[in-house]
Amino acid sequence: MITLPLALEDGIRTHSELEYPYESCGLVLGNFENGVKVGKELYRLGNTRESEAKRTRFEIDPSEMVRGELYARRNGLDVVGIYHSHPDHPSVPSEFDRSHAWPGYSYLILSVGHGFSVRLQSWELDPETKQFEEEKLVLNS
């Protein structure tokens, strides 16, 4: 399970609408508390794929990932999740998402239709089956 303040959910929606028709991406920083991922801050990142590919793909520059990791650690946080958008596509992981996923993180996917954010879902890779399973996402104020 992952919990997110409404302000963070709004941040993912705003970022993803701004990036439309391209995929947005970023980190959810927070803590692991009693087996629950508690999101506390967003860390926006750039999608480094070339312009047309960005419509259906995202990639994070490892050096940006490093800065995110180090920023999190300096502030007593962890990278608990990775978010990205699916422009004009459901908020369900693709085979490409699955084959590039790591266990441990929440993968938050936001569908964006015609420029407007629609549905946000969270997914987690099962380390045994290597398949995504939907994860409970709790929004709080």
Name the residues that contact other proteins, by CB under 8 A: 23, 25, 49, 56-60, 62-63, 65-67, 69-70, 73, 78-80, 82, 84, 86-87, 89, 93-97, 99-105, 107, 127
Minimal distance in Å, beta carbon 90 to other proteins? 8
Rounded to the nearest 5°, which phi and psi values hold at 91?
-85, 45
Determine the Cα–Cα distance for residues 134 and 109; give it in Å rounded to an integer: 11
Q: Which residue's CB is nearer to other proteins, number 13 or number 84?
A: 84
Confirm if 134 and 98 have CB atoms less than 8 A apart. no
User: Is 127 within 8 Å of 49 (Cβ atoms)?
Assistant: no
Output 52 or 141, the one with its CB closest to other proteins. 52
Minimum gap (Å) between residue 118 Cβ and other proteins: 13
Q: Which is nearer to other proteins, 92 or 139 (CB)?
A: 92
Cβ-based nearer residue to other proteins, 60 or 137: 60
Give the closest residue to 116 by CA, choosing from 51, 52, 4, 21. Answer: 21
Report the nearest approach of other proteins to the CB of residue 6 (Å): 24
| Distance in Å, CB of 18 to other proteins, minimum | 17
- CB 59 → other proteins: shortest distance, Å? 4
Q: Is 55 helix (H, G, I), strand (E, B) or coil?
A: helix
Q: For residues 1 and 36, what is the distance between their CA atoms, to the nearest angstrom?
A: 5
Spatial CA neighbour of 18 closest among 27, 26, 6:
26
Question: Which structure tokens are listed for 22?
Answer: 């391209």
> In terms of CB distance, is 6 or 67 closer to other proteins?
67
